Amino acid sequence: MSVLLRVRDLAVAYGHIEAVKGLTFHLNTGEITALVGANGAGKSTTLLALSGLLKPARGKIEFDGEDITALPAHQIVKRGVVQVAEGRAILTTLTVAENLVLGAYTRTDKAEIAASLDEVYALFPRLKDRADQFAGNLSGGEQQMLAIGRALMAKPKLLLLDEPSMGLAPIMVQEIFRTLVEINRRGLTILLVEQNVRQALKIARHGYVIETGEIVLADSGENLLANPKVEEAYLGG
């Protein structure tokens, strides 16, 4: 299995406070990897650093064999790393279709963009039904589908997802996670950041548990689910 993303000794600070303290981990091509932990553990900060939206205090980020540590965010997107931000960040005064097309802003082939749009509508039929509606009129779950769909329009090699289940009804959470499995089955590598530890580890091949900016456990998703420490700390055991 080839390594798509390799992170070495990644540290990120806000002023004098080190939020991420020397993380070392990797993602295998074509797998779902979960980064789980409590609120404030440093999960979102890690994703922002991988996206180029926060500059690391130290460490190295390699993507597809290239050092991307110092690259600006738009260059990282062009290389195929696309993030779905916590809180979705859709443009509520644009239609669903307009939001999706915006996701393809780094691409120029109109026929391929149209094909990607068809793929997103096949994955999320609700979005097709609401294509001409303003995105602000969608439910929370539909907005999350739109945010994921917009990210897919960029044709990513790696999808970074920050808390996709946050604030959603349980039935919608199940639907979102089923779709993530389907997207991964089609070959997309996913890094999933989640407070919903059970759901994340159920679909992840590998998982890392982060506490106060440090990785404290690393194993297969299955083994972490069965780990008494994880059960006690995160699964209500």
- CB atoms under 10 Å from CB of 62, counted, come to 16
Please give the average per-residue pLDDT across 27-52, as a whole number: 94
Strand locations in 112-157 (E): none
- Residue 39: the pLDDT is 85
Helix axes 110-123, 170-185, angle to 10 degrees: 140
Please give the average per-residue pLDDT across 158-187, as a whole number: 94
Please give the average per-residue pLDDT across 214-220, as a whole number: 96
- Residue 20: the pLDDT is 95
pLDDT band at 85 (very low <50, low <70, confident <90, very high): confident
- Inform me whether the pLDDT recorded for 182 exceeds 60: yes
Backbone angles phi, psi at 201, to 5 degrees: -70, -25
- Inform me whether the pLDDT recorded for 232 exceeds 90: no
Instruction: Return the structure tokens found at 102.
Output: 């915006």
For 160-172, letters b (16+ CB in 10 Å) and e give: bbbbbbeebeeeb
Please give the average per-residue pLDDT across 126-135, as a whole number: 96
Domain limits, CATH 3.40.50.300, in the chain: 3-80+156-234
- Residue 201: the pLDDT is 96
Measured in residues, the chain has a length of: 237
Question: pTM of the full predicted structure?
Answer: 0.94
Beta pairing partners, 36: 194, 209
Q: Could you tell me which CATH class the domain 3-80+156-234 is placed in?
A: alpha beta
Backbone angles phi, psi at 136, to 5 degrees: -65, -15
- Inform me whether the pLDDT recorded for 176 exceeds 90: yes
pLDDT band at 87 (very low <50, low <70, confident <90, very high): confident
- Residue 10: the pLDDT is 97
Percent of the chain with pLDDT over 90: 85
Please give the average per-residue pLDDT across 25-32, as a whole number: 97
pLDDT band at 237 (very low <50, low <70, confident <90, very high): low
Please give the average per-residue pLDDT across 2-7, as a whole number: 97
Q: Are 165 and 194 in contact (CB under 8 A)?
A: yes
Please give the average per-residue pLDDT across 93-102, as a whole number: 95
